[in-house]
Structure 1
Amino acid sequence: MSLVELIGRADDRSLAASAVACLDRCLPLLEYVDGADRLGLDTDLALRPLWSAVEGDDAWLGRLRRVAAVVERVAGHAPGELAGFARRMADAVPAAYTGPELRAWAEECSTAVLEVHLRLDGVTAAPDDGVRAKAYLHGETDGITPLTAGELRRQTELLDMLADDSGCGLSNALRLSNEGKRVLRAAASRRARSQS
């Protein structure tokens, strides 16, 4: 089943967790923005409280919007292209905790994080990157790069875990997302060293 089909079938809780996980994995990109530490964004802990009550309500959305506002401020000071993807996900935070809005946010975050991995895999920015990422969501993976393939697999596994009714789905999804965050942080670090 393609990732877009999984997103289409996911319940509100799974959609919210999937999107938060994508944004969380991209927070290390903000570690390369001058002055990010002064804006009070802990890239490891900023979104952690949202995982514990991902069913969502107005208070949950309020916490999410506060983090998103900090992400937008930090990314706004970024000279490079990658932090812009985190800002794009933050900009797309839904106004209401409803299925259609959460689904649109989850798909936007999924696409953005796949584009990030394309860049980190050494693919030069191109106008059709968004089209390529959306094709990956639909299961068209010809020519997909290794880092991007790993992220696509992680997103698919994460949604499968979130659909698990055993009660362990959320904690397993968090562990998988943290693994993806370590991969992305290492790739971003390698890219920064190669450009310095």
Structure 2
Amino acid sequence: MSLVELIAEADERSLAASGVACLDRCLPLLVEETDVLRPLWAGIADGEDGWAGRLRSTRAALDDTTAIGEAAAPVRRMIREAPSEWSTEQLCEWATACSALALELHQELDPSGGAAGPLAAGEQRRQVQILEALSAIPGGAGLRRALDLSVEGQRVLRAALSRRARAARAPADRA
């Protein structure tokens, strides 16, 4: 099943987790502290009862952090635009936007460029794996698998950013 189809068929819990996971994987662009979204993951586990409160506290925590670079702005915006209401329609729209943003950022950072590059392809694969895990594995185990995949994606992006920084410094070091 395609990414678009998986998002369209997802329930509220899966949509919220998918959106948070996309943003979670982009955190190395935003802040040094990559656990800032962990309370929001707990809000997903609590469902409708825990989502809005955890979302408020996560937004406040992010407001207290210093952004690393210019790519942080769209990630911050997507967290601010997360719906407080636990509704399929609103969460689907938000999860779709988070998916598109994560794919776009990974494409921009991909050393080979474009959607066919390894960084972008890996991001798309992780998005599909997360939605499949959430639909196939009930309860907290599905969320745990989604979080594990998200942490793996953070490591991959952090490594890509490190390689990019070294490559940018290399010409200056030779001068």
Quickly name the TM-score band, shorter chain normalised: 0.7 to 0.9
Decide which structure has greater helix share. 2
Give the CA deviation at 1:72.
5.5
- 1:118 corresponds in structure 2 to 107
Identity among equivalent positions (%) equals 52
TM-score (norm 2): 0.82
Instruction: Tell me if 1:13 matches 2:13.
Output: yes
| Cα distance change, pair 123–100 in 1 and its aligned pair in 2 (3 A) | farther
> Can you list the C-alpha shifts for 1:90-109, whole angstroms capped at 9, x where unaligned?
23211311111111110011
Corresponding letter in the other structure for 2:105: V
- 2:22 corresponds in structure 1 to 22
- 2:47 corresponds in structure 1 to 56
- 2:56 corresponds in structure 1 to 65
Q: In the aligned structure 1, how far is the partner of 2:23 from the partner of 2:85?
A: 18
- 1:137 corresponds in structure 2 to none
Corresponding letter in the other structure for 2:19: A
| Cα distance change, pair 98–166 in 1 and its aligned pair in 2 (3 A) | closer
Cα contact 1:89–1:109 (8 A) shared by 2: yes
User: Which of these residues, 139, 158, 169, is aligned with residue 185 of structure 1?
Assistant: 158
Q: In the aligned structure 2, how far is the partner of 1:87 from the partner of 1:51?
A: 17
Q: CA RMSD in A?
A: 2.4
- 1:39 corresponds in structure 2 to none
User: Which of these residues, 68, 71, 77, is aligned with residue 88 of structure 1?
Assistant: 77
Q: In the aligned structure 1, how far is the partner of 2:49 from the partner of 2:168?
A: 42
Q: Which runs of 4+ in 1 moved over 3 A?
A: 69-75
> Can you list the C-alpha shifts for 1:130-180, whole angstroms capped at 9, x where unaligned?
xx8xxxxxxxxxx62211001101100100000024442121111111111
| Cα distance change, pair 170–103 in 1 and its aligned pair in 2 (3 A) | same
> Can you list the C-alpha shifts for 1:31-85, whole angstroms capped at 9, x where unaligned?
47xxxxxxxxx32x2111222341433643232233234435657x55x432123
Q: In the aligned structure 1, how far is the partner of 2:56 from the partner of 2:132?
A: 26
Corresponding letter in the other structure for 2:17: A
TM-score (norm 1): 0.74
Corresponding letter in the other structure for 1:88: R
Segments of structure 1 that go 5 or more residues without pairing to the other structure are 33-41, 125-131, 133-142
- 2:4 corresponds in structure 1 to 4
Corresponding letter in the other structure for 2:39: P
Q: In the aligned structure 1, how far is the partner of 2:43 from the partner of 2:159?
A: 29
Give the CA deviation at 1:119.
1.4
Cα contact 1:25–1:184 (8 A) shared by 2: yes
Segments of structure 2 that go 5 or more residues without pairing to the other structure are 170-175
Number of equivalenced pairs: 167
